């Protein structure tokens, strides 16, 4: 199981540093319904990540366990495809980075967050974690990496749960800061929101580039 946990760490870090979900939850934490919308977003986020894991592990997990220790060209090609997709994410992140002196442009829907209900906040969390293309690729990659170790189903679930935990640290930390600091929270969260918007595209592009290249290399060696 240690191998499976080790294989999901990088995926979790990249998902956890995703800037738009962090900025979105910070905006929710400065709205009138902050005390309910922030936690609701986290619940939706975790549900979305868990749903992807359940689907991928249910499809890939049993066959991977049956073929543990054997070379599976299908798994190798899956790694290559995921690697190529991550390289494309890295390219788009780099191209979309703010230039010197520019302010990052935020999606227009973020201006409506003040009117979000808890249900809509939770739904937004699900969308960001399960339907956002970048996070979907990362979650599928993490679940596939767990399944290819061939460990029993219960251990696969634990290993993927570690990925979910790491992937939730970014948005979860914002909610913890809000409740822990109270009135002092905006002084911490506002600069964080600005920093994420300005610099995270570069960080994400580098991380996705490294992980994507590694997945392609691992896949080619297994084909």
CB 44 within 8 A of CB 123: yes
Contact yes or no for 53/160 (Cβ under 8 A): yes
Which pLDDT does position 73 carry in this prediction? 61
Q: Is 40 exposed, middle or buried (0-12, 13-18, 19+ CB in 10 A)?
A: buried
Separation CA 124–CA 107 (nearest Å)? 13
Distance of CA 43 to the CA centre of its chain: 14
Give residue 71's pLDDT: 46
Q: What DSSP state is assigned to residue 184?
A: G
pTM: 0.81
* More confident site: 80 or 180: 180
Neighbours of 188 (CB within 10 A): 15
Q: In the numeric block, which tokens belong to residue 65?
A: 């366990």
> What is the tens place of the pLDDT at every residue in 125-134?
999 999 888 8
In terms of residues, how long is the chain? 223
Helices (H) and strands (E) in the chain, counts: 8, 0
In 3-state terms, what secondary structure has residue 40?
A: helix
Q: How confident is the model at residue 2 (pLDDT cuts 50, 70, 90)?
A: confident
Read off the pLDDT of residues 33-87 as tens digits, 9 standing for 90 and up: 899 999 999 999 999 999 999 999 888 765 554 555 444 566 677 778 888 888 8
Per-residue 3-state assignment (H helix, E strand, C coil) for 97-125 = CCCCCCCCCCCHHHHHHHHCCHHHHHHHH
Answer with the residue of higher pLDDT: 107 or 141. 141
């Amino acid at each position: 199981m240690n191998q499976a946990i080790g294989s999901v760490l990088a995926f979790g870090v990249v998902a956890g540093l995703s800037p738009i979900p962090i900025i979105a939850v910070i905006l929710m934490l400065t709205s009138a319904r902050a005390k309910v919308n922030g936690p609701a977003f986290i619940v939706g986020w975790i549900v979305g990540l868990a749903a992807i894991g359940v689907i991928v592990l249910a499809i890939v997990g049993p066959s991977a366990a049956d073929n543990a220790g054997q070379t599976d060209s299908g798994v190798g090609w899956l790694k290559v495809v995921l690697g190529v997709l991550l390289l494309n994410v890295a390219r788009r992140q780099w191209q979309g980075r703010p230039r010197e002196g520019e302010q990052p442009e935020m999606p227009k829907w973020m201006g409506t967050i003040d009117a979000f209900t808890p249900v809509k906040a939770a739904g937004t969390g699900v969308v960001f974690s399960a339907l956002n293309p970048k996070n979907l690729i990362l979650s599928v990659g993490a679940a596939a990496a767990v399944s290819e170790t061939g460990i029993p189903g219960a251990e696969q679930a634990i290993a993927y749960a570690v990925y979910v935990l790491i992937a939730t640290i970014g948005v979860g930390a914002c909610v913890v800061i809000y409740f822990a600091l109270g009135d002092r929270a905006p002084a911490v969260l506002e600069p964080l929101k600005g920093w994420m918007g300005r610099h995270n595209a570069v960080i994400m592009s580098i991380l996705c580039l490294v992980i994507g290249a590694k997945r392609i290399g691992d896949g080619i060696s297994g084909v």
